[in-house]
Chain A
Amino acid sequence: MMKFKEVKHSIPKVDGRGLLKGASAYTDDLTVNSALIVKLLRSPYAFAKIKSIDTKKAQKVEGIECILTYKDVPRIPITRAGQGYPEPSPKDKFILDNYVRYVGDEVAIIAGTTEKVVEDAMKLIEVDYEILEPVLDFEKAEGHKSVIHPEKEIYSMFPLGLDARNNIACSYLDTMIVGDMDKTLAECDFVVKERYYTHAQQQTAMEPHTSTAYIDVQERLNIITSTQNPYHTRRIIGEALNKPLRDIRVIKPRIGGGFGAKQQIHNDIYTAIVTLKTGKPSKCFYTRKEVNESSFTRHQMRFDIQLGANKDGIIQAFDMQLLSNTGAYGEHSLTTFMVAGSKLLPMYNKTKAIRFEGKVVYTNKCSAGAYRGYGAIQANFAVESAIRELAEKLKMDPVELRLKNCIKEGETSPVFQVMGEGGEGIAQIMESCKLDYCIKRGRELIGWNKKYPSKQIAPNKIRSVGTAIAMQGSGIPLLDMGAAVLKLNDDGFFNLLVGATDLGTGSDTVLSQIAAEAIGVPVDRIVITSSDTDTTPYDVGAYASSTTFVSGNAARKAGLDMRAKLIEEAARALEAVHKDDVIFEDCTFKLKDSHESITLKELSEGLYYKFGADMKQLIASGSNTSPKSPPPFMTGFVEIELDIETGKIDVLEYVGVVDCGTPINPNLARIQVEGGILQGIGMAMYEDVVYSKDGKMLTNNLMKYKIPNRKDVKKITVEFAESYDPAGPYGAKSVGEIGIDTPLAAIANAVYNAVGVRIRSVPLTPEKVLHGILEKS
């Protein structure tokens, strides 16, 4: 086991105390009181064409500064998805358009001095709509007579299979094919062939999407925003408004959760355009209704799975055909879809034949976008349910089936090379993979051998266990890049500047720990500043489980660079013959075989005040991108109690055993997993985005869209496998997403183990469970 001084220690988050004391730290807290209030007039129809729009009466309301319709804004197709560049999402969104494509789509931007003024003006805007037939069923979207994107300008930056005339945002065919699927399936002793559905889910970050804009003294546009990716935001705003990026600054302050929701741009574009038009500061703070109805949900998906195995239980064939619903616009449509394959197929790597294909369709619903575990959680439900169905056919313990087939350390899968995010991937060997340990340890912790499959504990109650395994990545190989800068100050402390985006995960703390470990100083010598496009170096942002691995390696490199520079300067100050003679420990530089020494504080004072011609600023930097994306692995085990009279499921305990390499801050890593598990349980049990027949979202507030509360949690147990990945900073892999993946299948499998009812669509509501029980009897 490796020994570390700063990493692998649970220190409190560097911003934790300040936040809990109520510091002004979030976007709205930092907004000036004089900021114009910006609101959006939104479409009441799922699909319509604006025949005419008249703002004359509204303009006359006292206090109104600016009302903009599609006639007043640049018409440049963009994608609001903050990902790599060239962007792997279709450019199918205009700031405002003469078509509205879902209930809640933007019709006009209104800015005025108070909320009241803006709301009064909104009511006076007269819009004449030509109502069109909406496409609401994603299984009927392809080739529907209503074409959601008839506009000519939309395009993709590289071939995605965009076919807007047929409502197809992208497609992926004839590429991810290994072996002869039909022949292999025909030769298998047992085949599972089933269809599974997953629904949309709301990210529900507690802080609604918020943006404020102002013009600074250099007459540049400044935007403070709750974003996960300030650099992508700057690029997209620049593109949409046709402005050079040098005229735009994007600052991410503290943000109140993201989970992917803030990986798209939301209201930045509206505050930016209002401030540019009026010259005045502006702010836009979404209502919860807007967050739910008019931002982004998880992609709804349909999976057709075929799994084939021989009598010995070795899985020979793995086929996944996927249909995904991207809603009105195509943000993250291809990448979410591909993750469904790339994070599931390699887990079972003994297969002879692999096939993964499908399409992503437009519908007249709220756009789908990024949400923690995107693609992977949906596919995990389908695949890990199918694995349990295969175990049933084989008459094999599902845990044993997984142990027999799962990927192990030193192994690989052809999928890594074929599939990346939006294009080809990169081959990799699992240099750290403790998945088999995670499975065995989880089995022990839940008491599987005593509890599987189930036990009747009362006439109406059955207790049972279920399980699923999961794999994520650590950033996107050779696409994600993060950088860090370290600056020495005259009291012997360091500023760590990173573009990485702490959205409440604790990445500022984790990166500080890594930099401190690399320099060889206590973490309290590091003061971090993150996520400001003017003052911090580039980073893709917080998504794809990238920060600990990608940005963490940048912080490590910057730290090592700083350490070398410090030693060089200390050697000069100590008049060492060779810099190898300098030992740096306990913030003091000592000469080997001598009593000569200089403290870090003294050295820094010398460099800035006393060393004459040798005075200088010490700055070190590190950039990191990697051909590797070492996957974290996890096993989820659940024990449920099922009421067979009502169909209600109670989750008694959820056990997660995780291999994320070295947990840089074990407390923070644990909370990442616990929080992920509960979001997964929410999606498994009751969270659901429900629409009316005419396409209006019914679950548009937190009364109707229920997220888990404290009383819904009985017990969550999380443990980490002892693991070290040589590519990670001090052995770390990322851990932000993996926690969310397993609950859907684990709980569905537990339901099956309790009552023999197989539910192939989430959420696992009491109605579905009871229906299944009644149908069986």
Chain B
Amino acid sequence: MILKLNINNKFYNTNIESDESLLVVLRHLGFKSVKKGCDTGTCGVCSVLIDGKPRLSCQFLAARAQGHKITTVEGLGKKADAIIDAIVNEGADQCGYCGPSLVLTTYAMKKELKDPTVNKIKHYLAGNLCRCSGYEGQLRGIKKYMGVK
């Protein structure tokens, strides 16, 4: 089926299989920041923003994405810089495989959480697994970015 997708404010016409996930289609279109880590919607490395909200692209049928605004980390551009700096300044990026999804989810969190606390941050990001960092370094950076002591 032919699909018209709004990705990072540009339109892409693409021919897909009806059962293809948004993850597969995005990677095929060249958005390699969107990673595949599991097959069960558990790890979070495939997260993208759909209409500004974090969603697991591996659990989202591409066909359903038409008419929605899809954002990958490539689309954040300079808006991602402060988040990226917060993480790399702690050395907490490590292998980086979960990194783009963490940056996107943190970006959405900043917009959504009115009164952020450490517990709210942990809860919001709980679906973004990281095996390298032990999470503490990421938290140190993200707390600064969120203005939480």
Residue A86, interface by CB 8 Å: no
Q: Are B84 and A675 in contact, CB atoms less than 8 angstroms apart?
A: no
Proximity bits, A627-661, B CB within 8 Å = 1, else 0:
00000000000000000000000000000000000
A399 to B92, CA, bound (A): 32
Within 8 A of A (CB), among B28-85: 28, 31-40, 42-43, 45, 72-74, 80, 83-85
Stretch at the interface among A255-263, A345-353, A408-416: A255-263
- In-complex Cβ contact of A206 among B126, B127, B129 (8 A): B129
Q: Is A205 touching B36 in the complex (CB atoms < 8 A)? A: no
For B96, B123, B137, which residue has the most chain A Cβ atoms within 10 angstroms?
Answer: B96
* Shortest CB distance B105–A (Å): 11
Residue of chain B at shortest CB distance from A114? B17
Which residues on the B side are within 8 Å of A503 (C-beta)?
Answer: 95
In the complex, are the beta carbons of A667 and B91 less than 8 A apart?
Answer: yes
Q: Are A22 and B94 in contact (CB under 8 A)?
A: no
The complex places the Cα of A289 from the Cα of B33 at a distance, in Å, of 23
Q: Are B39 and A257 in contact (CB under 8 A)?
A: no
Are A10 and B91 touching (Cβ within 8 A)? yes
> B38 CB to closest chain A CB, in angstroms?
4
A674: B residues at CB distance < 8 A: 133-137
Residue contact A671 to B94, C-beta cutoff 8 Å: yes
A19 neighbours in B (Cβ, 8 Å): 93, 95-96, 99-100
**Contact, CB under 8 Å: B91 / A668:** yes
Query: Is A556 an interface residue when CB atoms closer than 8 A count as contact?
Result: no
Q: Is B22 interfacial (CB 8 A cutoff)?
A: no
Which of A20, A254, A289, A707 makes the CB contact (< 8 A) with B131? A707
Instruction: Tell me the complex Cα distance, A642–B95, Å.
Output: 34
Cα separation A111 to B72 with both chains bound (whole Å): 31
Chain A residues closer than 8 Å to B95, beta-carbon distance? 19, 205-207, 254-257, 503-504
**How far is it, in angstroms, between the C-alpha of A711 and the C-alpha of B124 when the chains are bound?**
10
With A and B bound together, what is the CA distance between A93 and B45 in angstroms?
A: 33
B136 and A716 form a contact (CB under 8 A): yes
The smallest beta-carbon distance between A104 and chain B, in angstroms, is 15
Of A116, A506, A674, A701, chain B has the most CB atoms within 10 Å of the CB of: A674
Q: Does residue A355 face the partner (Cβ distance < 8 Å to B)?
A: no
Interface string of A12-41 (1 = CB under 8 A from B): 110111011111111011000100000000
Residue tally, chain B, CB below 8 Å to A = 55
A129 at the interface (CB under 8 A from B): no
Of listed A21, A25, A285, A711, residue having the most chain B CB within 10 A:
A21
Residue in A25, A678, A710 with the greatest tally of chain B CB atoms within 10 Å: A710
Say if the beta carbon of A288 comes within 8 Å of chain B: yes
A28 in contact with B91 (CB, 8 Å): no
B87 touches A20 (CB 8 A): yes
B132 interface residue per 8 A CB criterion? yes
Chain A residue numbers with a CB within 8 Å of B16 are none
When the two chains form their complex, are residues A254 and B96 in contact, meaning their CB atoms are under 8 A apart?
yes
Interface status of A677 (Cβ within 8 A of chain B): yes
Inter-chain CA distance A407–B85, complex, in Å, is: 41
- Chain A residues with Cβ below 8 Å from B133 are 671, 674-675
Nearest CB in chain A: distance from B32 CB, A: 4
Known: A207-B95, A711-B126. A33 touches B131 (CB 8 A): no
Does A204 make an interface contact (CB < 8 A)? yes
Q: Which of B39, B91, B100 contacts A13 (CB 8 A)?
A: B91
Which residues on the A side are within 8 Å of B27 (C-beta)? 28
Q: Which residues of B contact A22 (CB under 8 A)?
A: 31-34, 72-74, 100
B139 contacts chain A at the CB level, 8 A cutoff? yes
* Residue in chain B with minimal CB distance to A669: B91
Chain B residues positioned under 8 Å from A504 (CB to CB): 94-97, 132
Contact partner of A26 (CB less than 8 A), chosen from B90, B97, B127, is B97
- Minimum distance in angstroms from A458 CB to a CB of chain B: 21
Q: Which A705-731 residues sit within 8 Å CB-CB of chain B?
A: 707-711, 713, 716
Contact A671 B132 (CB under 8 A): yes
Considering only CB atoms, which chain A residue lies closest to B37 in the complex?
Answer: A206
Min CB distance, B135 to chain A, in Å? 5
Listed by A's residue number, 9 A-B pairs whose Cβ atoms lie within 8 Å are A16-B96, A19-B100, A21-B84, A22-B34, A22-B72, A26-B32, A255-B95, A505-B94, A710-B122
Closest 10 CB pairs of A and B: A22-B33, A504-B95, A19-B96, A256-B97, A667-B91, A674-B134, A678-B134, A16-B88, A702-B42, A12-B88
- Which B residues lie at the A interface, using CB under 8 A? 17, 27-28, 31-40, 42-43, 45, 72-74, 80, 83-85, 87-100, 102-103, 122-123, 125-137, 139
Q: A13-B91, A206-B97, A505-B94 given; name 10 further pairs at CB < 8 Å.
A: A16-B93, A17-B85, A21-B84, A206-B132, A671-B90, A674-B136, A675-B134, A702-B40, A709-B126, A713-B135
